[in-house]
């Protein structure tokens, strides 16, 4: 049975997980149903197709090979007892997809089996159904998860791509002919690590967050979805400059201000640190396994009452991060995982999980989706809400994607710490309207 070792960042995700802080990604796809039985038919299709997708058969097992650099690591391998019916589940009809998705997102994936699930939720109205996909972050990053999910949806007409040359297998010891370059690279890595460490230390100074964004993990989850017209976002961008992503992040900052003020926590002086993950993988290289992530860290100008000033502040901070590049700064902490031995990840996983709240206050991540229509059993997707893992000690995570002319915000929160997630969801829509008005559009 062949297997391959987890990349360092995958191993980190595998080891920082706990029962109250599962490390899976999620996506809730809502479909328009051609018949009341469309959901049940979709579940049958997903189970039948999953058996033919090699990536969905991969489980993760511990590696305890003595006297090996991989001691304490973990590896992916094909599960000889793989049964799609353990992973694809049909639920009772519901009138609230998000309410069910929240309860399902709080359940950790079974670690002894391939760590993914697809939950089919028929709608009580008989004209819609939803599918909640869950993939462990050690199995797939956002692009890889998209590729795996697409493999069990209806076939798509995609442009032909040249095959990517196979990478040579990694040995336990480096080629001696490459040692001079490796030494230079190691010295460069040390300098980068020191720079990142200093940036993390600086990022914790003179910052006031909010108790609403931090909490002791209850293990409960609540989800919500918000749909925004992409044309509205473009109108704002064309008026004030910057990128679509700048506008979407500024909308989060403004929504946080509204939410904190409405719940009575207050936004004065609040400037939470937002981690903006940056994929170092291009879409055409999504097939190889292993997370390829860095990140930018910015302070969200929640305390600024002027919506256009908030957007300008976000734009300046993002430009500064882009100029420095994804390999520098406090947001690049994920890159340091490459320099931690496997046993260090295993022993230090709980400590690393606890450190998340010291590093950032809220995750705001973008999930790419294809621009073409997606279908399952001929039933078209009408919305896709991405869900990010909730770091230990944090109450709220925001994921965003654009799909066929719309922006979809997917929100995940600790249900006990954020019982009013619907208020924050409404604030996102209100902030877009405020920015449009401020721009005179």
**How far apart are the C-alpha atoms of 193 and 195, rounded to whole Å?**
5
Give the C-alpha separation, 434 to 29, whole Å. Answer: 28
Residue range 6-52, pLDDT digits in tens: 887 788 888 888 899 999 999 999 999 999 999 999 999 999 999 99
Tokens at residue 389, please? 């893992």
Say how far apart CA 177 and CA 182 lie, in whole Å.
10
Angle 307-324/244-263 helices, nearest 10 degrees? 130
Average pLDDT for 47-68: 85
pLDDT in tens, 209-228: 678 888 888 899 999 999 99
pLDDT greater than 50 at residue 175: no
Of 439, 432, 410, give the one whose Cα is nearest residue 142: 410
Question: Two tokens at 29?
Answer: 């796809």
Lowest mean pLDDT among 179-183, 201-205, 363-367: 179-183
**Half-sphere exposure in the Cβ direction for 375 (13 Å, CA):** 11
Distance between CA 44 and CA 51 in Å, rounded? 12
What is the pLDDT at residue 207?
Answer: 53
Report residue 309 as tokens: 């000033």
Distances in whole angstroms, Cα of residue 285 to Cα of each of 25, 97, 143, 162, 279: 19, 32, 9, 11, 11
pTM: 0.83
Residue 69 to residues 63, 72, 168, 172, 201: CA-CA distances in angstroms? 10, 9, 18, 7, 31
Confidence (pLDDT) at 8:
78
* CA dihedral of residues 390, 391, 394, 395 (deg, nearest 10): 10
């Amino acid at each position: 049975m062949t297997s391959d070792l987890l990349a360092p960042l995958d191993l980190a995700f595998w080891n920082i997980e706990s029962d109250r802080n599962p490390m899976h990604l999620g996506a809730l796809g809502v479909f328009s149903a051609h018949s009341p039985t469309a959901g049940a038919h979709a579940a049958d299709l997903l189970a039948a197709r999953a058996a033919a997708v090699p990536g969905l058969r991969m489980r993760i097992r511990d590696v305890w090979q003595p006297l090996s650099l991989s001691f304490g690591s973990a590896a992916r391998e094909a599960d000889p007892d793989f049964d799609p019916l353990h992973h694809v589940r049909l639920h009772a009809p519901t009138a609230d997809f998000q309410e069910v998705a929240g309860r399902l997102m709080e359940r950790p994936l079974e670690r002894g089996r391939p760590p993914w699930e697809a939950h089919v939720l028929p709608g009580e109205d008989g004209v819609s159904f939803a599918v909640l996909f869950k993939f462990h972050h050690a199995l797939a990053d956002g692009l890889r998860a998209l590729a795996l999910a697409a493999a069990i949806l209806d076939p798509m007409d995609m442009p032909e791509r040249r095959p990517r040359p196979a990478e040579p297998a990694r040995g336990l010891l480096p080629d001696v002919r490459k040692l001079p370059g490796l030494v230079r690279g190691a010295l460069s890595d040390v300098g980068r690590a020191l720079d990142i460490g200093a940036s993390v230390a600086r990022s914790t100074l003179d910052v006031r967050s909010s108790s609403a964004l931090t909490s002791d993990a209850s293990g409960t989850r609540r989800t919500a979805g918000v749909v925004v017209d992409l044309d509205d976002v473009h109108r704002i961008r064309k008026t004030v400059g910057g990128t679509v992503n700048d506008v979407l992040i500024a909308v989060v900052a403004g929504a946080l201000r509204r939410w904190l003020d409405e719940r009575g926590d207050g936004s004065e002086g609040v400037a939470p640190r937002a981690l903006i993950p940056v994929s170092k993988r291009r879409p055409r290289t999504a097939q190889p396994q292993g997370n390829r992530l860095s990140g930018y860290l910015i302070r969200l100008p929640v305390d600024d009452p002027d919506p256009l000033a908030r957007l300008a502040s976000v734009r300046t901070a993002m430009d500064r991060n882009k100029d420095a590049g994804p390999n520098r700064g406090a947001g690049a902490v994920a890159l340091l995982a490459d320099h931690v031995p496997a046993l260090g990840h295993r022993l230090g996983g709980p400590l690393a999980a606890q450190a998340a709240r010291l590093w950032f206050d809220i995750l705001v991540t973008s999930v790419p989706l294809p621009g073409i229509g997606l279908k399952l059993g001929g039933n078209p997707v009408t919305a896709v809400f991405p869900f990010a893992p909730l770091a230990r000690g944090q109450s709220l995570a925001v994921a965003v994607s654009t799909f066929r002319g719309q922006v979809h915000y997917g929100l995940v929160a600790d249900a006990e710490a954020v019982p009013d997630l619907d208020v924050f969801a409404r604030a996102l829509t209100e902030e877009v309207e405020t920015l449009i008005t401020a721009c005179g559009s």
